[in-house]
Structures are given as C-alpha cells and as structure tokens.
Amino acid sequence: MAAQGYAVIVISSEMPEVRRVSDRIVAMYHGRVMREFTIDKLTQDSLVQAIFGIKAQSAA
C-alpha cells in the first residue's frame, strides 16, 4: 500500500504488532509528535522514551 501512496494509522501498545505492520512509526506524547522512526532505526528503549515524553539525548 505504501508504494501506491496509501497510509494506514495503527494505534497499538503491542511492540511486536507495530513492528510487523509498519514501515515508519511516529511516537506521540500528550498529542505532540516526539519522534519519528523507520523500522531499521527503531529500538524498544528509544520508542518507550518517546512515548513517555523523554526527549532523545544528543550524542556527545
């Protein structure tokens, strides 16, 4: 569907399900976009931080 320009919004708290059906994940916290991930860059820790409103720290 993505190749045809379609998007599907999936709302789920199940990480395996989200990974299985997604090409891209947008994490929100209190109605604000915190981070956007591609599946190859997604880690469970980074997703959990984003959905709990913890901003990503820059690498020093």
Predicted TM-score (pTM) of this structure: 0.72
Higher pLDDT, 4 or 1: 4
Write out the E strands in 1-60: 24-29, 32-38
In this prediction, residues 30-42 reach a mean pLDDT of: 92
43 near 35, Cβ under 8 Å?
A: no
| pLDDT tier, 56 (very low <50, low <70, confident <90, very high otherwise) | low
In this prediction, residues 30-57 reach a mean pLDDT of: 88
Distance CA 25, CA 58 (A): 20
> pLDDT at residue 33 above 80?
yes
Higher pLDDT, 58 or 26: 26
